[in-house]
Structure 1
Amino acid sequence: MNNKDTDWRWLSEQIKLWGRQLGFQEVRISDAHADVATVEAGLSDWLENQFHGEMDYMAKHGTKRTRPPELVPGTLRVISVRMNNKPVNMEESWTALQDGSRAFISRYALGRDYHKVLRARLQKLAEKITEQVGEFGYRAFSDSAPVMEVEWASRSGLGWRGKHTLLLSRDAGSFFFLGELYTDLPLTVDDPVASYCGSCTRCLDICPTQAIVAPYRLDARRCISYLTIELKGSIPEDLRALIGNRVYGCDDCQLVCPWNKFSQFTQEADFAVRHGLDNVSLIELFAWDKETFEARLAGSPIRRIGYEQWLRNLAVGLGNAPSSPAVIGALQARRRDPSPLVREHVEWALGQHRLTKE
């Protein structure tokens, strides 16, 4: 089809249909040239307050993060997609959090790495578009570049930004992944939706470390997801006890959100729980050697943090676990770990158990 003869409204609807056929639950389109002055001012203020912590990449790239045509020249539209990730055993989340001997892993990370899954589907969507219009300009993203995913998703009407800063949908809550296709096609854009958070503050109230310092404002330096995933060095001592048994990410603000009663279970086999990670003890995971870590977590997003950081997180979890000879023994077995980072957190954890005896 010659682009001059393209019915862009028809094509826009076809793209949404193709996206759903490829496994995305929803597909929407926004204008890449929309006014972003307010967004850029908010990002600048967030960075000036150092709320990004050691995530230096948040301060890089300048306006490429907020202006798609500067990142990918020629971009006219942002196609935003949503794919559910809620595991079928979601009700186990609170049980796992309340059992201090178990390791709690953010529900999205229990299966395979979503980055590859979404980008592969987005590539297939681009190929479907190519079959229809011929070669066109595009680039696929999924939490992998300076892209303001929630902003573009909310502008397209996929949902609204919740007070915890995540995207919320009346039909799907927040247990889903986002992805984008930047494209140079002049597709028909969708309208945004209103916010439905109202006066609710459950996400602010439940945050273990009070990282949501105000509605729609997150201090990442206190966020458990940042502390267990993004932070590469030592976890601040005053926050360690608050982390509990959360060894990779944190879902509290989502678990308590009323809109997640509408969240839908994933149908993607790649997102199914692997290796029993939804019901595994801290002691068992702490006993893994590096080879076991690499093998068992191959294809998992957890593997990205590396073995040393994994042990650091588990040491904190064991420091917060109910005291027992088995827990103390597991920690003592790593007192001579080659990593100074691991040894530091092991000593802190042992100190916690000494305190419980005094």
Structure 2
Amino acid sequence: MNAADIKAAIRAQALAAGFDAVGFAPAQLAPEAKGRLQEFLNAGRHGDMGWMVEKADRRGDPQTLWPAARSVVVLGLNYGPDQDPLSILAARDRAAISVYARHRDYHDVVKKRLKQLGRWIAATYGCEIKVFVDTAPVMEKPLAAQGGIGWQGKHTNLVSRAFGSWLFLGEIYLALDVEPDAAEVDHCGACQRCLDVCPTAAFPAPYQLDARRCISYLTIEHAGPIPLEFRPLMGNRIYGCDDCLSVCPWNKFAQATPHAPLVAREDLTAPRLAALAALDDAAFRALFSGSPVKRIGRDRFLRNVLIAIGNSAAAELLPAIEVLLSDPAPIVRGAAVWALSRLDPGNFAARQILALREEFHPDVRSEWTAGIPISTL
């Protein structure tokens, strides 16, 4: 079988395995991709994600990650929503969970299909393979662009002419030479809707992201209290943010996902903030079993929920705050204090002095003093 036949056979098998986009890239990154990564890290825009620095050499060079790599099969799985993800932002007593987390964990869904395809390639062509989803130090989006299945838009995410901004990515590294596809060109043109819509101005310039300002980073990766300046801007976004993805004009060609495991769960599409605030650890684990949300843990999740409650202007949510003011987790108590200062400022000052006599955790004390300065009492 010649090289063209091998490539066609792998593509056909990938589509048969349920992937929606298939491309082939060389096992090396273009110099500009490596340069962008280094600039991102040098500027400290990775925030708390120290693992990006520790594994930068492997992330920037597929052959450092696996020296035997010769080619990369880049694969995309459509997770397009069946409704506008931004419509939930107007329902302030409800929670906005990013589209990618409203269903079964995509890592499991993508990896299962990658392994199926990888086993077939290894058995058919007798070559070694390595399978990767985004938990490994792989620069997926530049590889996908080199493999022709999309381009990195100004929001730094992959954009596809066929699927818009809604593709999960995975890769199979091959110890086999396969002719690469032509890289996709940038079709963003003069459009910058994704930059303009960002609530926290997380894009210093087109094609640049400062993760420290990104709501997805703040609600998922950031472990401590969320900086005060960003809290009012988060609205009811409690896990991730879809704004920059949702406004991309190329989404007009996207279709709702046909993959059952990636169809949004009804209970995660617009859950009530009051119900989420009442979750203990066991209930949190049960609700988010099989979901990527489970990874951040109940305490960090409730931190996010309380910020959304503080932004809700819904006085009926005050009882939920009251309960969490005495939560064992300082990160939850602190967020509850901030939410109280927003929903009940008139009574906040009267409670401040007593609270400061009883609260000894520095982060929570700082929330009480930040709400209303004691000098104004």
Deviation at 1:323, TM superposition (A): 2.6
1:146 and 2:140 equivalent? no
- What's 1:207 paired with? 198
SS of the residue corresponding to residue 283 of structure 1 reads helix
1:271 and 2:262 equivalent? yes
The 5-angstrom pairing of residues 152-301 of structure 1 reads 152-274=143-265, 276-301=267-292
8 Å CA contact 1:87–1:271 kept in 2: the answer is no
Q: Which runs of 5+ in 2 are unaligned?
A: 349-377
Aligned residues between the structures: 348
The 5-angstrom pairing of residues 52-131 of structure 1 reads 52-88=46-82, 90-91=83-84, 93-131=85-123
- What's 1:313 paired with? 304
- What's 2:374 paired with? none
Q: Hey, what's the Cα distance between the residues in 1 that align with 2:28 and 2:276?
A: 47
Q: Which runs of 5+ in 1 are unaligned?
A: 1-5
Q: Hey, what's the Cα distance between the residues in 2 that align with 1:218 and 1:357?
A: 40
SS of the residue corresponding to residue 344 of structure 2 reads helix
Q: Hey, what's the Cα distance between the residues in 2 that align with 1:322 and 1:263?
A: 35
> Structure 1 residues 94-103 or 154-163, which shifts more?
94-103
Q: Hey, what's the Cα distance between the residues in 1 that align with 2:274 and 2:202?
A: 28
8 Å CA contact 1:79–1:182 kept in 2: the answer is yes
SS of the residue corresponding to residue 157 of structure 1 reads coil
8 Å CA contact 2:165–2:246 kept in 1: the answer is no
TM-score normalized by the length of structure 1 = 0.94
Q: Hey, what's the Cα distance between the residues in 1 that align with 2:10 and 2:345?
A: 60
Aligned match of 1:132 in 114, 124, 147? 124
Q: Hey, what's the Cα distance between the residues in 1 that align with 2:345 and 2:143?
A: 49
What's the CA shift string for 1:80-129, capped at 9, x where partnerless? 000001132x23x2321111111000011100000011111011101221
1:15 and 2:7 equivalent? no
Letter aligned with residue 11 of structure 1? I
Q: Hey, what's the Cα distance between the residues in 2 that align with 1:105 and 1:184?
A: 39
1:346 and 2:336 equivalent? yes
8 Å CA contact 1:16–1:26 kept in 2: the answer is no
SS of the residue corresponding to residue 180 of structure 1 reads strand
Q: Hey, what's the Cα distance between the residues in 2 that align with 1:184 and 1:200?
A: 40
SS of the residue corresponding to residue 279 of structure 1 reads coil
Aligned match of 1:329 in 319, 324, 327? 319
Higher share of residues assigned helix: 2
- What's 2:44 paired with? 50
SS of the residue corresponding to residue 267 of structure 2 reads coil
Deviation at 1:357, TM superposition (A): 9.1
Q: Hey, what's the Cα distance between the residues in 1 that align with 2:198 and 2:211?
A: 12
SS of the residue corresponding to residue 228 of structure 1 reads helix
TM-score normalized by the length of structure 2 = 0.90
- What's 2:26 paired with? 31
Q: Hey, what's the Cα distance between the residues in 2 that align with 1:286 and 1:183?
A: 47
Letter aligned with residue 101 of structure 1? D
RMSD of aligned Cα (Å): 1.4
Identity value in percent: 41
SS of the residue corresponding to residue 154 of structure 1 reads helix
Q: Hey, what's the Cα distance between the residues in 2 that align with 1:131 and 1:40?
A: 33
1:40 and 2:34 equivalent? yes
SS of the residue corresponding to residue 146 of structure 2 reads helix
Deviation at 1:31, TM superposition (A): 0.6
